[in-house]
C-alpha cells in the first residue's frame, strides 16, 4: 500500500472536497451544540450516511468523508480554521503538507459498531446510548455492522500513528 498522509489547516472544507473524486463514499458529520437538543435536532447533530456533495461541510465541527481509497477528516480548532488530515491515494490538495510515511506499516482491521438491528435493517438499537443509531448499511438479523479501517503503525514502536476508515461491512 502506497498511501500518503497530508495535514494542514483550512478555513473552508467545502473548497477541498471537489478536488477529490469519491467512489461510493460515506460521510460522518457532527455538530457540537451548546444547548439541550430537542428530539428532531438530535438526529441532525450526528449523521452517518452516503456522501452528498451538496452538503455544507463547513457547518460541521468535525467530519470525515471516506471510500475504499481515501479519507478526508477535519475538526474545528477554535481559531477560525479546521485541522485537516487526508490519507489514502495521492492527491493534489493545496495548503496541506505531506507527512513522512516511510516508517509506517499498514494493516486492515474491523471496528465493531454499536447496536443490534431494530425494526428496519438500517436502524440499530443500543441501550447504552439514548438514541437510535442509523448507519448507511443494512445487516441481516442479529448481525452488526463494522467499519473497515486501515491502521498506520510506527514500524519501530508498533503504536498506531493514524487510521482511516475505508468501508462498512457486516460483521457476524
pLDDT tens across the length of the chain (172 residues): 688 999 999 999 999 999 899 989 999 898 876 656 566 665 666 788 899 999 999 989 999 999 999 999 999 987 789 999 999 998 888 889 988 888 899 999 998 887 777 776 667 766 666 666 777 776 776 677 888 999 999 999 999 999 999 998 887 6
Q: How many residues does the chain have?
A: 172
Find out whether 169 and 70 touch, Cβ atoms under 8 Å. Answer: no
Alpha carbons 74 and 127: distance in angstroms, whole number? 29
Give the pTM: 0.85
Q: Spell out the alpha helix ranges (H) of the chain.
A: 13-16, 39-45
Three-state secondary structure call for residue 132: coil
Do the bridges between strand 104-112 and strand 4-10 make them parallel or antiparallel, or are there none, so unpaired? unpaired
Q: Which class for 29: exposed (0-12), middle (13-18), buried (19 or more C-beta within 10 A)?
A: buried
Amino acid at each position: 500500500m502506497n498511501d500518503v498522509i497530508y495535514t494542514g489547516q483550512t478555513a473552508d472544507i467545502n473548497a477541498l472536497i471537489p478536488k477529490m473524486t469519491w467512489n461510493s463514499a460515506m460521510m460522518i458529520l457532527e455538530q457540537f451544540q451548546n444547548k439541550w437538543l430537542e428530539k428532531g435536532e438530535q438526529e441532525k447533530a450526528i449523521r452517518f450516511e452516503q456522501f452528498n456533495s451538496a452538503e455544507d461541510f463547513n457547518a460541521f465541527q468535525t467530519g470525515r468523508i471516506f471510500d475504499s481509497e481515501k479519507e478526508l477528516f477535519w475538526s474545528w480548532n477554535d481559531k477560525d480554521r479546521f485541522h485537516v488530515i487526508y490519507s489514502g491515494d495521492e492527491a493534489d490538495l493545496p495548503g496541506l503538507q505531506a507527512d513522512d510515511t516511510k516508517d509506517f506499516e499498514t494493516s486492515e482491521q474491523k471496528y465493531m459498531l454499536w447496536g443490534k438491528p431494530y425494526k428496519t435493517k438500517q436502524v440499530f438499537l443500543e441501550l447504552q446510548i439514548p438514541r437510535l443509531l442509523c448507519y448507511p448499511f443494512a445487516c441481516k438479523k442479529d448481525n452488526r455492522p463494522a467499519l473497515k479501517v486501515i491502521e498506520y503503525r510506527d514500524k519501530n514502536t508498533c503504536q498506531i500513528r493514524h487510521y482511516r476508515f475505508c468501508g462498512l461491512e457486516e460483521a457476524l
